[in-house]
Amino acid sequence: MNHSFKCRTSFLCVTGKNILSRAQMNHSLLNVGLHPMQRCLLIFLAVTGVSFLSGLSLTSASEPIAIKVGKILTCSDNPEMPEFIADGVILIRDGKIEAIGAQSDIAIPEGYQVVEHPEGFAMPGLVDCHSHVGGTSDLNEMVYPTNPELRNWDQIVPHNQRLKFAIAGGITTVCFIPGSGTNMGGFGTLMKTGPGTLNEVIIRAPGVLKIAQAGNPERQTGEIGSGRMGMNYVLRQQLLEGQMYVRQWDDFENGLAPKPEVNLRLEYFKPLFRREIPVAVHTQQYQVVMATIRMLHDEFNLKILIDHGTFDAYHLGEELAKRDIPVIVGPRGFWLDREVGQMTGIVAEYEKRGVKILGVNTDAPVIPQEDLSFQATMAVRLGWSDERAIRGLTIEPAKALMIEDRVGSLDPGKDADIVISTGSIIDPRNYVTQVFINGKSVYDIKVDKRLF
Amino acid sequence: MATRIFSHIGLAFLVLALNATAAMAQERERGRGRPQPPASEEKAEAQTPEAKAAPETPPKKLLAITGGEIHTVTGEVIRRGTVLVEDGKIKAVGRDISIPEGAEVIDASGKVITPGFVAINMSNLGLRGSPFGNNKIEDALDPFDRNMKFALGVGITSGCVEIQTQQGGRGRRRDSDSDPINGNLLASNSQNTTTSNSTSTDATIDEDADSANDEVREVTITELLGYDRREGEPEHRFLGIDPEFGDYVTESQLDYGIENTQLCPCCGLPILPTEPITETPPSQEQPRRHAAIKLAYGNLDDMFLKDNVFYSPAPGGLSGALNRHNWRRDIRKAREELEKAASAANRPAEAPSATPPSGATGDPRGGTRGTRPTAGAGGAAAASARPSATTTQLMPLLKKEVSLRVTANTVTEIRDMVTLAEELDYDLVVEGGIEAWVAAQELSRSGATVIFTPRQKRDPRLGEEDTSGSSIESTGMFEAQGVPFATAALSNSVSMGGIAGRDLTSLPLEAAMAVRGGASNRKALESITIIPARMMGLDDRIGSIEVGKDADLLILNGDPLDYRTYVEQAIVAGKICYDRAADQVYPLYDRK
């Protein structure tokens, strides 16, 4: 469950579930900029602290809520959870979904605040895999071709103006990543769009590594990296260095080698090469995506997600499907083959070729953050299916980011990130009326100015 | 101007020109851009007997579209109805229409029929290159522009294109040397400029320029504003470069207001405009020129609709005290001229000397449009028998044959434009209208219409959060207050770069966004059909399915505002100009 790192000496894996969820609340406090050993120590203290102070919540417990809605789209992979629930109810307690089902099946316990949307649709909060509006816009350090030492969670401005619009569009989770100015832009953050302190809004940091191939990171200053051959070499060399570093630490932790020196520049490669976080790859066009598959997936055995996959790259759909690589398409949505003169819907083409974990992104502010659902609208217009599109806005990107245990579907135990809209969010005529993040109402058009 | 419009329509109506123009002139009198009762039935009746009386005409080309759900826009929805088209015009609409022998029949059972959509903003479409200055738009039409297929594929069959009237970016100062007529209007060195780069050799223009200079010298800015030059201030302070007068401010700064221009990412302080203030005064911008064309792919003859569908001042051309002063003066002179002509018409004996020469008004896009409204037009011209170019240009506006189309986004700009329009009595079309929701009542009262893009966003100004910035609910407020609006897409041209749903081909989806904002499906459909047609004074030809109108029709595979809907066939002027299966420009797939 805990993706930011899995410390070998941690006993999180044997602790009970409710303790773990408390630890998880704290973990965001702990995982920012600390050495893993320090973090382990802190987690130890926190967990023991919780067990001593059991019953006292470290975060203020909010009132439990029961949401009654006309229709629930669960986006759940759980075979026992139906895809749709008519006249449903969702119980929320301690920021998590407690129970979900038909109103006829679930009795609302005493003391729950009841929120009613008899005509409304409820769905999980939307997840955007590619966003640059989580904080300030200093996204690129343009000095080195690769920057594994950089991290962007110090740039975050929680609940900023763009994120308020994002919430009004139903987006509750974004992957806030560095830009594509260099081949390796740094480590990005998975964060909630709602209000709170930095620690409260971070889901995981480091969230992803941003790698950019071709196009934007081409270097014009005469050094290596002005073309794809050079850029690919630069990337492989850097990854090899990281791989070696992590191997040294693995050997040390397994008692096979002496303790290596800490190298801040390579430290975040640990969760990456331990396959606990993915690489979000800025990659598009056939050859470039092929290089992504061969270098990052086949050669370095990394978890990756294709984070543009546009132009003619959909021809690699089978290759990607074979390896179960997630594809998050955007901000471009179609490809025009100039020789044929016909428009091709990129997402639909990937679907046709069997890519399972398939979604859309905005690359906000390239496309406004709140228009994520509209990206899906257009993908459906160009041939995708409505049902897959709803999942492609929620559970599929959550899987691509490896946070599907926290967000992306309405299942008991997951974060209570719930979007209420006037109808299917894929239809641009419908709009969001209320949004809950971590079980708290953060946008309600009955109270707040309607933003989108 | 009037005769010119009529002559074009007359061509289309063949031998029926006289009757038709009379009917249309009446119709035009009823007001532009406002809801009107369907008025075409009487015309159709008038048309039938004469059509029968012409036995030598070749056999009529008949087309019947049967079985579809017909959204007429101005009338009710007709289920399983028939539209009968004869020679490019709609001959009959209804449920029980007998299909004449020899008619081509399209079975549209299960389909939806709507009028072709009208894009109030189009660019780079149907034109080869850009018609420039006073060139004829007909010469630039390209009936085989493939991008038209993409526009037709979403239902756009006609629209308004902006014709570039000058080089250089909009809202920017140009080097005055490059434009001897427009530049240096106020500066004393204007007499030294040459006419080497003049786009026109019309003698009237030179007269205008001279009279302009005469006029300007009489009206000093100090007199005008009661503001003396302060110690240390440059002499050129008044020459249009003071930001207060909006003359050198870029369009975006005008739109956003100085306080909303760029902010420093570090300290949050506004970055002041860095455009250097030079000694050269700004040139007067030419008015924008708009023409209506049809996307009649492959049929050049059907493409041209009407030129000069608006009077559109240059961006910022009506802002600032000096511009307003000049505008009022120009309008006053034009109105005097108009009244003189009217009184002359009442006294037939004197008519020839007082009526504007036919060359100025009768020639389609003749010398007049290539010129600009000279700030100082009038003066000597008012005394002479021949009205100035500016006056000639303003005549259709004052006669309410065209509307004033002006970009206004902040509530202050919008209110200013409404006040001016009411004071000077012309029809107003507000383009942009980001904050129009704040002034919806005033707009409604004045009868103005709005060209609006629901997804256009602007943050509110600090401290004015409730009365500034964009509102997604604008369209709902427009409908509630009775402000007719035309929906414009986020971008005016067809873009094949790969970003989906943000270019001209997203027009129906932008209308869906109007529904998101609270407008009804019906108003949203009107906003891309009859409302833009009315704005351009073309509601006698396009924008709805009514007898006598042009047969610009869509056969859709679903609700017109549904995001999954595609055009199966687009019919322009009675001819099938787009067929989804045959043209294959959009993806073809089976919807589950």
Q: Token match 């990281």: residue?
A: A242
Residue in B146, B498, B515 nearest the CB of A333: B498
CB contact under 8 A, A341 and B584: yes
Is B219 within 8 Å of chain A by CB? no
For residues A194 and A126, give the distance between their C-alpha atoms in angstroms, rounded to a whole number. Answer: 12
For residues B394 and B328, give the distance between their C-alpha atoms in angstroms, rounded to a whole number. Answer: 11
Is B500 within 8 Å of chain A by CB? yes
Domain boundary assignment for chain B? 2-165+289-309, 403-535
Residues of chain B neighbouring A431 (CB-CB closer than 8 A)? 472, 516
Name the minimum distance, in Å, from the CA of A343 to any CA of chain B.
5
pLDDT of residue B285: 61
The interface predicted TM-score (ipTM) is 0.86
The CATH superfamily holding the domain A126-407 is Metal-dependent hydrolases (3.20.20.140)
Name the minimum distance, in Å, from the CA of A172 to any CA of chain B.
20
For residues B312 and B334, give the distance between their C-alpha atoms in angstroms, rounded to a whole number. Answer: 16
For residues A85 and A89, give the distance between their C-alpha atoms in angstroms, rounded to a whole number. Answer: 9
Residues of chain B neighbouring A380 (CB-CB closer than 8 A)? 563-564
CB contact under 8 A, A334 and B500: yes
Query: Which residue type is seen at B318?
Result: L
pLDDT of residue B179: 34
The CA angle B115-B119-B123, to the nearest 5 degrees, is 140
Residue in B472, B501, B564 nearest the CB of A451: B472
B114: its two tokens:
């709507």
Is B536 within 8 Å of chain A by CB? no
Q: How is residue A374 annotated by DSSP?
A: H
Residues of chain A neighbouring B466 (CB-CB closer than 8 A)? 449
Domain boundary assignment for chain A? 1-60, 62-122+411-452, 126-407
CB contact under 8 A, B512 and A429: yes
Q: 3-state DSSP call for residue A170?
A: coil
For residues B410 and B476, give the distance between their C-alpha atoms in angstroms, rounded to a whole number. Answer: 19
Rounded percentage of chain A residues whose pLDDT exceeds 70: 87
Give the architecture-level CATH label for domain B403-535. Alpha-Beta Barrel (3.20)
Is A385 within 8 Å of chain B by CB? yes
Cα nearest neighbour of B466 on chain A: A449
Which tops the pLDDT comparison, A94 or A53? A94
The answer to whether residues A164 and A449 touch, using CB atoms and an 8 Å cutoff, is no
B472 to B65, B426, B477, B494: CA distances (angstroms): 38, 29, 10, 24
> How many interchain CB pairs under 8 A, A with B?
89
**Closest among B322, B327, B314, B237 to B277, alpha carbons compared:** B237
Residue in B502, B587, B592 nearest the CB of A382: B587
Average pLDDT over every residue of A135-158? 93
Phi and psi torsions of A163, nearest 5°: -75, -30
Q: Token match 């590594």: residue?
A: A209
pLDDT of residue B264: 64
**Closest among B476, B571, B577, B569 to B527, alpha carbons compared:** B476
Run of H or E residues at B9: helix B2-12
CB contact under 8 A, B564 and A311: no
Q: 3-state DSSP call for residue B94?
A: strand
Asked if pLDDT for residue A17 goes beyond 80, the answer is no
Asked if pLDDT for residue A234 goes beyond 50, the answer is yes
Cα nearest neighbour of B465 on chain A: A449
Query: Which residue type is seen at A238?
Result: Q
Residue in B465, B473, B501 nearest the CB of A378: B501
Name the minimum distance, in Å, from the CA of B554 to any CA of chain A.
18
Record the pTM. 0.78
Phi and psi torsions of B569, nearest 5°: -140, 140
For residues B460 and B577, give the distance between their C-alpha atoms in angstroms, rounded to a whole number. Answer: 44
Is A429 within 8 Å of chain B by CB? yes
A211: its two tokens:
């790698």
For residues B441 and B480, give the distance between their C-alpha atoms in angstroms, rounded to a whole number. Answer: 10
The answer to whether residues B520 and A436 touch, using CB atoms and an 8 Å cutoff, is no
Is B587 within 8 Å of chain A by CB? yes
Residue in B146, B499, B501 nearest the CB of A377: B501
For residues B282 and B375, give the distance between their C-alpha atoms in angstroms, rounded to a whole number. Answer: 13
B362 to A139, A144, B140, B192: CA distances (angstroms): 60, 68, 21, 35
For residues B309 and B327, give the distance between their C-alpha atoms in angstroms, rounded to a whole number. Answer: 20
Is A276 within 8 Å of chain B by CB? no
What does the pLDDT look like over A432-446, one tens digit per residue? 999 999 999 999 999
Cα nearest neighbour of B458 on chain A: A451
pLDDT of residue B248: 41
Asked if pLDDT for residue A24 goes beyond 60, the answer is no
Residue in A336, A375, A381 nearest the CB of B564: A381
CB contact under 8 A, B501 and A331: no
B231 to B138, B234, B235, B237, B281: CA distances (angstroms): 55, 9, 10, 12, 20
For residues B505 and B521, give the distance between their C-alpha atoms in angstroms, rounded to a whole number. Answer: 19
Residues of chain B neighbouring A367 (CB-CB closer than 8 A)? 499, 502
Q: What is the DSSP string of A206-220?
A: EEEEEEE-SSTT---
Phi and psi torsions of B189, nearest 5°: -80, 5
Name the minimum distance, in Å, from the CA of B568 to any CA of chain A.
14
CB contact under 8 A, A381 and B561: no
Query: Which residue type is seen at B324?
Result: R
- 3-class secondary structure per residue, B170-222: CCCCCCHHHCCCCCCCCCHHHHHCCCCCCCCCCHHHHHHHHHHHHHHHHCCHH
For residues A333 and A345, give the distance between their C-alpha atoms in angstroms, rounded to a whole number. Answer: 6
Residue in B465, B471, B513 nearest the CB of A428: B513
**Number of residues assigned to chain A:** 452
Q: How is residue B550 annotated by DSSP?
A: B
Residues of chain B neighbouring A385 (CB-CB closer than 8 A)? 592
For residues B529 and B295, give the distance between their C-alpha atoms in angstroms, rounded to a whole number. Answer: 14
Is B144 within 8 Å of chain A by CB? no
- A62-122+411-452 CATH choice from 3.10.20.30, 3.30.465.10, 3.30.1330.10, 2.30.40.10: 2.30.40.10
In this structure, the dihedral spanned by the alpha carbons of residues B490, B492, B477 and B411, taken in order and rounded to 10 degrees, is 90
Average pLDDT over every residue of A361-367? 95
**Closest among A348, A344, A385, A351 to B586, alpha carbons compared:** A344
* Angle subtended by helix axes B474-481 and B507-516, to nearest 10: 70
For strand B62-71 and strand B112-115, is the pairing parallel, antiparallel, or unpaired?
parallel
The answer to whether residues A426 and A415 touch, using CB atoms and an 8 Å cutoff, is no
**How does B415-450 read in b/e, with b if 16+ C-beta sit within 10 Å?**
bbbbebbeebebbbbbbbbbbbbbbbebbbebbbbb
Q: Which region among A29-43, A81-95, B93-107, B143-157 has the lowest average model confidence (pLDDT)?
A: A29-43
Residue in A335, A385, A449 nearest the CB of B498: A335
For residues A198 and B89, give the distance between their C-alpha atoms in angstroms, rounded to a whole number. Answer: 65
Is A372 within 8 Å of chain B by CB? no
pLDDT of residue B391: 85
Which tops the pLDDT comparison, A353 or B265? A353
**Closest among B136, B114, B153 to B542, alpha carbons compared:** B114
Is A172 within 8 Å of chain B by CB? no
Q: 3-state DSSP call for residue A113?
A: strand
CB contact under 8 A, B562 and A427: yes
Cα nearest neighbour of B455 on chain A: A452
Classify the C-alpha dihedral A417-A421-A424-A427 as positive or negative: negative
Residue in B146, B498, B512 nearest the CB of A341: B146
Residues of chain B neighbouring A165 (CB-CB closer than 8 A)? 457
pLDDT of residue B219: 38
Is B265 within 8 Å of chain A by CB? yes
Residue in A311, A378, A450 nearest the CB of B500: A378
Give per-10-residue mean pLDDT for chain B (592 aa).
45 41 45 44 43 61 96 96 97 95 95 98 84 75 94 97 63 36 32 33 34 36 45 39 39 50 63 52 69 96 95 86 91 92 76 42 38 41 61 92 95 95 97 96 97 95 92 97 98 93 97 98 98 97 98 97 97 97 92 62
Name the minimum distance, in Å, from the CA of B170 to any CA of chain A.
24
For strand B89-94 and strand B117-122, is the pairing parallel, antiparallel, or unpaired?
unpaired
**Closest among A223, A346, A229 to A287, alpha carbons compared:** A229
Is A337 within 8 Å of chain B by CB? no
Name the minimum distance, in Å, from the CA of A161 to any CA of chain B.
9
pLDDT of residue B268: 63
Cα nearest neighbour of A432 on chain B: B516
**Number of residues assigned to chain B:** 592
Query: Which residue type is seen at A82?
Result: P
The CA angle B473-B474-B476, to the nearest 5 degrees, is 70
Residues of chain B neighbouring A334 (CB-CB closer than 8 A)? 498, 500
The answer to whether residues A58 and A26 touch, using CB atoms and an 8 Å cutoff, is yes
B291: its two tokens:
């023409």
